[in-house]
Amino acid sequence: WGGDDRLDHVYAMTDVLPKDDRIDTKRAGVVGRSYGGYRTLTLAARHPELWQAAIDMFGPYDLLTFADRVPATWKPFIKMLVGDPETEQEFMLERSPRTYIENVTCPMLVIQGKNDPRVIEQESRELVEKLREMGKEVDYLMFPDEGHDVLKHENRVKIYDTMTNFFKKHLE
């Protein structure tokens, strides 16, 4: 998490997509859910020059706290792919979006479920508050009746309308 996978996106935005005349990389947005939300936060914070808008959906903001909250059956997987919070704290901090969040320059929409057991609502709220304290433009859409996904039809309608309008506003 946060290594070559991050650089794949940077390479695409700097070396591949600009060669396609149909794509305007000066009007690029980034969006992701769960791990993709983590990726969105990482890209917006570590490569702010590439994005004009970002949407984080249920993305882990701090890998140390995320690793602490996963079920016991996930812990070996997390240690292998993300890091061991007991022995690799510095590495995990280096890969956490929290470490670079002050670099965000684009408007951001953060989407969160109140009942999310992995990416807790308090952490997403702290992200939003931190961005606002720094004078960044950030919208927060929290669903009190959802967890680590948006499952209810009326909430899905709201989320996709909000996302579409957010990108329309910031990428046109």
Domains and CATH numbers, the chain: 4-171 (3.40.50.1820)
CA triplet 142, 145, 150: central angle to 5 degrees? 70
Spot the catalytic one: 9, 84, 139, 148. Answer: 148
pLDDT tens per residue across span 32-80: 999 999 999 999 999 999 999 999 999 999 999 999 988 999 999 999 9
What confidence tier does 136 reach under pLDDT thresholds 50, 70, 90?
A: very high
47 as an active site residue: the answer is no
Q: Of the residues 34, 84, 139, 149, which is catalytic?
A: 34
Nearest of 99, 172, 112 to residue 138 by alpha carbon: 112
Tell me, what's the pLDDT at 4?
77
Known catalytic membership, residue 96: no
Which is catalytic among the residues 62, 116, 124, 170?
A: 116
Inform me whether the pLDDT recorded for 6 exceeds 90: no
Mean pLDDT of 116-144: 96
Question: Is pLDDT at 2 greater than 80 in this prediction?
Answer: no
Is residue 5 among the annotated active site residues?
A: no
